[in-house]
Amino acid sequence: MFEKLRSAFSDAAKSLGEKELNEKDIESILFELEISLLESDVAGEVIDEIKSDLKEKLIGSKVNKHEVEKFVKVSLISSISALFDAVEKVDLIEKINEKKKQGQPFLVLFVGINGTGKTTSLVKIAHLLQQAKFSIVIAAADTFRAGAIEQLREHTNRLNLKLVAQNYNSDPAAVARDAVLYAKSHKTDCVLIDTAGRMQTNENLMQQIAKITKVVNPDMKIFVGDSLAGNDTVNQAREFHKHVQFNASILTKSDADAKGGAALSIVKVTSTPIIYLGTGQEYPDLKPFSKETFLKDVFGSLDDVDIKESPKPEPQLESPKPEPQLESPKPEPQLESPKPTVVEELTTNSSDDPFEGINDDDIATYSDLYDIPPPENDNDAIKLGNKIRKWIKDGRLEPGESKTNEEIKDDVHKQDKEEEPKKKRGRFGFLKK
C-alpha cells in the first residue's frame, strides 16, 4: 500500500538532506515534491497546504545539514497528521449504541458511484455489525441498476439478514421508508440503505439521494470511493459532499492501491474522516482507518515523532468464526431497460407487527397521499397501522375524493383520541411502563 506516496515523501526528505538550505533549493525540492504528490493522486489543495507548511518550517529554521532529512520527515508527518486531526472522529459502533439506548434504529445511507464497491462495503459493514451482535435490516434502494436487488439478496441470504426491497423503478425513498418502518416495528438496531450509483444524469442521482435523505433522515451518510480511481474518487467525493453532505467515507480496494493519495485528499477536501478501508473481496476485509497506520505505511517508523493520536475505540468483535465467502456474483447490467419484477415482500411472521396484514404499497401510498413521516416510535407505528387499516376499509380514498383531506385528518385525529386508553394496555411489552 502507498508505495508511491512513501517514495514521494522520502525523496523530498533525502534531496533536501544533501543540500544547503537556501530558498532556491527549497523551491526546487518543493516542486519535485509537488510532482510526486500529483502522481500519487494527492489533490491540489492538499499539496498546497503540505508545501506551504513545509516551506514555512524550513525557511524559518536553522537546521544542521545532517539533520535536515529527519527534520523534513518530521515536518511532513506533523503536517499530514494535523490534516487528519482537523476532522471529527466518527465511531459507527458508538453511534449505533447511542441510538439503541433511545430505542431507535440507526439509519445509514451509503452513497457512491457504481463499481466503486458500495454494495460490497455495505454488506461488509452489515457483517461487522452482525458480529458485534446488532440486528440489521438492509434496504435495496438502488431500484435503477439491473441486478442491484439480486446482488443484495444474494448477500442477505448468505448472511441471513432481512432485506426490504420493491420492484425495479419503484421509488427508492419508499423502499428506504419501508425498511425504517420495519426496523421500528421489529426493534431492529440498524438500517443500511443502498442507493443508486448512476442514473440518467448526475442531477437525477443527487435529487434521488436528497429525496431519500428527506424522507428517512439518516443518522449517518457514508460515501464509498474506490482508492484505485485516485483523483476521480476525490472529485466524486467533492461532488457528493456538495450535494449530500456525507459524514464519513469508506475507501475500497486499498489492498491494491499503491498510491495512497486519495485518502489524504478526501479527508482534506470534504473535512470528513475515512472510517474504514476495504482491503479485499471477503466480508471481513474491512479495516478501521487509523491515522497512525497510514503514517507508518507512508513514512516507515514514527520514532521521535509525536503525532498525538487520541486512542480510538475499536469495535469489539467476537472471536473469528468460519467466514462466509463473498465471491460477488454480480449480474452484469443489461442494456435494455429493466422490467419490473416483484422481488420481495415485507413479510412479517410475528403478531406484534403494527402493520400486520397491510401490504407495503398501501403503507407507501397512504404516507405519500397524506404526507406522513415515518413513525418515531412503536406507539406511532401502531397508530399509523390503524389509520392505514381504516383508510383501506374506507376504500383507499385520495384527498379530495368524497371525503376531504380535512375530514380524513379529523377522522385520524378522532382515531388518535380513541386509541389513547389502549396505550396503557400495552400491546408491546415496552409500552407497559
Interface residue list for ligand GDP (CB under 6 A)? 112, 114-120, 197, 252-253, 255-256, 278-281, 285, 328, 330
CB nearest ligand GDP: which residue? 278
Give the whole-angstrom CA distance, residue 93 versus residue 98.
9
Q: Is 151 helix (H, G, I), strand (E, B) or coil?
A: helix
Q: Is 38 helix (H, G, I), strand (E, B) or coil?
A: helix
CB of 154 to ligand GDP, least distance (A): 11
Report the residue number, 253 or 387, with the smaller CB distance to ligand GDP.
Answer: 253
Q: Is 330 helix (H, G, I), strand (E, B) or coil?
A: coil
Give the whole-angstrom CA distance, residue 184 versus residue 380.
10
Give the strand order in the sheet containing 220-226. 162-164, 136-141, 190-195, 106-111, 220-226, 248-252, 274-278, 286-288
CB of 114 to ligand GDP, least distance (A): 4
Cell of 69: 532529512
Give the whole-angstrom CA distance, residue 73 versus residue 35.
18
* Neighbouring C-alpha atoms within 13 Å toward the C-beta of 163: 24
Give the single-character DSSP code of 208.
Answer: H
Please name the amino acid found at residue 180: V
Report the residue number, 236 or 379, with the smaller CB distance to ligand GDP.
Answer: 236
CB of 340 to ligand GDP, least distance (A): 21
Report the residue number, 116 or 367, with the smaller CB distance to ligand GDP.
Answer: 116
Cell of 100: 439503541
Report the residue number, 89 or 330, with the smaller CB distance to ligand GDP.
Answer: 330
Buried b / exposed e over 62-72, threshold 16 CB at 10 Å, is ebeeeebbebb
Report the residue number, 13 or 326, with the smaller CB distance to ligand GDP.
Answer: 326
Strand partners, 288: 276
Cell of 196: 443508486
CB of 208 to ligand GDP, least distance (A): 16
CB of 127 to ligand GDP, least distance (A): 13
CB of 138 to ligand GDP, least distance (A): 13
